[in-house]
Each structure stands twice: as structure tokens, then as C-alpha cells.
Amino acid sequence: MELNIGVMVSLLFAGLLVMLLSGVEVAFGLIAVGLIAMYAFLPLNSFGDAARQAWDQLNSSSLSAVVMYIFMGELILKAGISEGIFKSLNRWLGGLAGGLLHSVTGACTFFAAISGSSVACAASVGSVAIPTMKQRGYNPRLIFGAIVGGGALGILIPPSIIMILYGSLSGVSIAQCFIGGIVPGVLLALMYVGYNYFMVKLDPSLAPVEAMSETFGERLRGSIDLLPLLGLAGLLMGGIYLGFFTPTEAAGIGCALTFLIVLGYGKLSWALVRESSSATIHSSSMIFMILAGAALVSYVVNYLKIPTLLVEWVVAIGIGKYTVLLLVFILLFILGCLIDGISICIILVPVLYPLMMELGFDPIWFGIMLTICIEIGLLTPPFGMNLFVVKGIDPTADFKDIVMGAVPYVIMMTLMVLFITIFPEIATWLPNMMKT
């Protein structure tokens, strides 16, 4: 059947949109669209090839890292270790304007460096920080904004589940993607700190400034909770950067060391392991089912040569590369309001990656840009996951306050996309210096 690229893309996109808006699970929606498109556009003997491609998509050693990083995050989340991190950071930052807000950002940064999940990051830190900040009279919008924005760092600061999927789908080095997220992640965290500091300076009624009576030695001794996780994050990222082990090997080492850390805190139990394993199986199964469904859609897309036709179409009409980038950003923003980031990554990377490479964008840079855009989607209604995490932690919260609190963080993330577009070295400098 001869169809032009516009019709083909429109039909596939419309089918996906109908499935998603109808409330069907993303994975099953992808499988349904893939099978219908194969029946409509492809010969019947293609079904066997598509099934093999779906299996090959899942039969990848790099994807085992996804399971292990999720398990690490679940162990630390359910063991309640984030409380010690938050309190330790507050010893150093509590005396600043908006001190607890900075402690939230710092705790999210720490947790991001070992979990790879934004939702787990927001839930872990938010469950400790929200009651404390509300009790001390912090402005609700600042509280909720710090949690949803800080939680989004979970997929930018390595390890990152999104980057593992991006690397697996595109063939780009996952290790280099990990390292590429460090500088943008730290800069974004510093932007958060600067925003909260100046907001409280401009209007001190937004947050109380607390007098810190502890000496330097007392603060140092009270920060012992930071050392195990700081050491774990440093070991994993340092080992990957120096080429001592791969991201998958780092995940295995991280799981073993996380067990020891939880044991050291006296929190290890069969109940904890069982709950963490159950949550890991649930999350991993969801991701792999989405991958399988996306593999069917990708088979149709590649069989119809849509990526190639898309590149030829863009070149033929003479659209500038940054105009295309703007359109991609708008597409990611719209989809971020409708579906989760993992689904966005799995669905769009096979289509967009060839186009972005043809236009001359760096593959590591594109991975970081994509990750930040997915972060934005975590903070935008109606389906921003971090918004609902905060609502779940504090059922009495006004959802409008949660959304309005997230707005400045959406703006800061958008600015970060602009910064790395103007100065791509922010994302590519460290990866280019890696030992491979």
C-alpha cells in the first residue's frame, strides 16, 4: 500500500493517541497499534520477523541494569535511609535562607545518584521533607516545587533508567550518557538552590530562617549518614568514567553494596527484601512490556522506512536544524503531559534519533536533551507523575499549589535545554574525556 509519510505518521500517531486517551495501558496500546498496523500495511509473513525483533529488543544484557538500579532505589526507599540524608544536609544548609529547601535539593541529588528513578527520588525525600517543612511554616508552593523539581533529577544525574533505554535503543554508549548527565544535573540543582535562596531573600515570610547552634565538629560528626551513599555514588560513577566497569557491572556492584549499606543501618530484613523485590518486578515488567510493544511499532516504522522518509522530507523542504529541534521539544512537551517518560523514550527514540543525527546533533547531547525534556513531563499536568507522588504523600495538599510550585522548575529545566543547546559542551565535555 503506497502512502506518503504524512499519512503514515498521522495514522500511527492517531492510533497511539486513541489508545492512550481511552485508558488502555501503554504497553497494550503499543502492541495493539503495532499488530493493527502490521495487518494493514505489511505482508503476513512479517509477523514472525516482528516477533523476533521484539524478543531481540528484550534479550539485551544492558537492560539487566534497569532491573538492578530499580532494585537499588527500592531498597533505599523502603529502608527509609533518606531521612538520615535529609537531616545531615540540613545541619549544613539549615541556616541559609530557605535552608530546608536546599536540603531537599541536596537529598534529591544524593538519591538520584543511586536510584535512576525520579518517582522514587521524589517519594523518598518528600515523605520525610514535606511534614517537616509544613510544621516549620514553609510556603506550600515552595515545598511542593522543591520536591517535584528535585525528584526530577533522578533521571538526569546518573545512573538513569531513561539513559539506559536511550542507549539500548540508539546504540549510543550508556556509560557516556551517564557521564554526560553529571554537569547538567549539578548545574540544574544549583539553579534550584539559587531560585529558592533569592525567593526567600525577597520575601522572608515564605520560609523561616533557622539559627544553627551546632559547631563545625558536631555538624561533621552528624553527617556520617552521607558517607555510605556518597561513597557508593562516587565508586559507581568513578569506575564507569575510568573504564573499570560497564554500567551493567556497576549496577551489580551497586546492588551488593546497597545490601551492605542497608545492613549497616540495621534495616535489612526479609520483609524489606520481599517488598523491594515485588516493587522491582512490577516496575521492570511494565518497562519490558512497553519495550516489547514499542518493538512491534518500530518494526512497522522501519519496514515502511519512515525514519528515512522523515529525514528526506526535512532535507527537501529546507527546515533549519534548530527549527526541527524546536518542533521536537514541543512534541516532547505535549507527550509529557499525556504519557510517562519511559514510554516517550521507547516510542520516539527509534524515529527521532536518525533524524537528529542526520541534522548533525551530537548523540550524547541529544540523549541529555531528551532526558531533560522527559523531566519536564514529570512536572506537567494532567499526568505529571511527580505531581501525583506529592499529592499521595500529602493528601490534604491543594493540587493547584503543587502545579504552581512546579512551574518555576519547568522554566528552569527549559532554560537548561536552551543552555546546553547554545553550549553543547556542558553535556559533552566529560564524556569526551572518558577512558573507554
Q: What are the domain boundaries of the chain?
A: 26-37+46-432
| Average confidence (pLDDT) over 413-430 | 95
pLDDT in tens, 384-397: 888 888 898 888 88
Provide the b/e sequence for 238-275 (b: ≥16 CB within 10 Å): ebbbeeebbbbebbebbeebbeebbeeeeebeeebbee
pLDDT in tens, 193-211: 999 999 999 999 998 877 6
The x, y and z cell numbers of residue 361, run together, are 546533533
Look at the alpha carbons of 188, 193, 194, 198 in this order and tell me if their dihedral is positive or negative. positive
Tally of residues, the chain: 436
Q: Which grid coordinates are listed for 376?
A: 519536564
- Beta-carbon count within 10 A of 282 CB: 11
The pLDDT, as a whole number, for residue 3 is 54
- Using a cut of 0.95, tell me whether the model's pTM lies above it: no
Q: So what's the pLDDT on residue 213?
A: 67
SS3 per residue for 224-240: CCHHHHHHHHHHHHHHH
More confidently predicted of 388 and 301: 388
How much is the average pLDDT of 290-310? 78
In angstroms, the Cα distances linking 101 to 131, 135, 312 are 13, 14, 48
Using pLDDT thresholds of 50, 70 and 90, give the confidence band for residue 120.
Answer: confident
Cβ-contact 180, 431 below 8 angstroms = yes
Nearest of 340, 375, 392, 378 to residue 126 by alpha carbon: 392
pLDDT at 430: 92
Is residue 55 pLDDT above 90, yes or no?
no
Reported as a pLDDT band with limits 50, 70 and 90, residue 302 is confident
Residue 330 grid cell: 514541543
Residue 240 has pLDDT above 70, yes or no: yes
Q: Before 204, cis peptide (omega within 30)? A: no
Give pLDDT tens digits for 207-225: 887 766 667 777 777 777 7
Cα first-last separation, the chain: 46
Contact yes or no for 435/390 (Cβ under 8 A): no
Query: What is the predicted pLDDT for the residue at 37?
Result: 81
What local confidence, expressed as pLDDT, does residue 4 receive?
61
Percent of the chain scoring above 90 in pLDDT? 30
Find all residues with CB under 8 Å of 339, minimum gap 6, and list them.
20, 26, 383
Query: Which has more confidence, 7 or 283?
Result: 283
pLDDT of 369 above 90 = yes
Residue 307: its H or E element:
helix 306-317
What's the rounded mean pLDDT across residues 110-115? 82
pLDDT at 77: 78
Alpha-carbon span 390 to 124, nearest angstrom? 11
Of 97, 151, 161, whose CA–CA distance to 125 is shortest? 151
DSSP track, 395-416:
TTS-HHHHHHHHHHHHHHHHHH
* Distance set, CA 224 to CA 121, 230, 251, 327, 374 (Å): 20, 10, 24, 47, 34
Nearest to 158 by CA among 366, 431, 425, 424: 431
Q: Tell me what the mean pLDDT of segment 170-189 comes to.
A: 93
How far apart (Å, rounded) are the C-alpha atoms in residues 15 and 31? 11
Q: What is the pLDDT of residue 1?
A: 43
Grid cell listed for 250: 556497576
Q: Which of 31-45, 248-262, 342-356 has the lowest mean pLDDT?
A: 31-45
